[in-house]
Amino acid sequence: MRENSRSWSAARSTRLAAALAAAVDHRWPVVPGTLLRGGRCSCGDEDCSVPGAHPHDPPLLAATTDARMVRWWWERQSPDAPVLAATGGTLSAVSLPAAAGARALAYLAALRLPLGPVLSMPGRYAMLVAPYSLDALGEMLAQLPWVPGSLRYHGSGGFLPLPPGGGLGGGVRWVLPPRPAADGGVWLPEVGPLLGELVEATVQLDSGRSAY
């Protein structure tokens, strides 16, 4: 029993450390997320569209980079909650099926295009990029011949689960970890130079063709 208690306390400490690193070091606003219990989201909504990957109390919680608030949340209010980063303000992302993401990542690395952090989530990869507006994203997508529906865009009003564990039942890890920018925070690439390759990798996966 004592060993289990120590492990539980260590897990809580790790979540707090991850929340503080994201908020203070990376400058990403964070918020406690919901939990998965018996395969269902702790929010109580049986039809929850993002189980384990949305704020625990949306009407009351606003994502923040304030270390004092982060400590209060994870030490007193939600010590077991996963860490969610709010997208749209200081970071955005594009996510795609994991197999397509791995292929795109290998190809982009071969081209020596600078990449930002990359998250592995259950069944998906998320490429973190500099914030983009929906209008700018729409203009870029309009220039492509076809955009697969399995590509998802995490902009204003969205959330991404962060390691360790994350929401979505766990299994969230860094494929490429965040690296500091020269002026502090985390360096993030613009989405434009990456978008075409992410779309192409997803199209090839959907069509059953071998990528690259």
Q: What is the mean pLDDT of residues 20-35?
A: 93
Domain assignment of residue 66, yes or no = yes
On the question of pLDDT at 209 being above 70, the answer is no
Domain assignment of residue 106, yes or no = yes
Half-sphere exposure of 192 (CA within 13 A, CB side): 8
State the pLDDT at residue 102.
92
Residues 58-104 pLDDT 10s: 655 689 999 999 999 999 878 888 899 999 999 999 999 999 999 88
Domain of 75, in residue numbers: 2-207
Residues 145-180 pLDDT 10s: 877 888 899 998 899 999 987 666 568 999 999 998
Domain assignment of residue 184, yes or no = yes
State the pLDDT at residue 54.
84
State the pLDDT at residue 37.
75
State the pLDDT at residue 6.
53
pLDDT grade, residue 200 (50/70/90)? confident
Domain assignment of residue 101, yes or no = yes
Domain assignment of residue 212, yes or no = no
State the pLDDT at residue 16.
93
Q: What is the mean pLDDT of residues 135-147?
A: 84
Residues 105-135 pLDDT 10s: 988 888 888 899 999 998 999 999 999 988 8
Note the residue count of the chain: 212
- Give the total number of structural domains in the chain: 1
Q: What is the mean pLDDT of residues 5-30?
A: 83
Residues 36-47 pLDDT 10s: 777 788 888 888
Domain assignment of residue 60, yes or no = yes
Domain assignment of residue 152, yes or no = yes
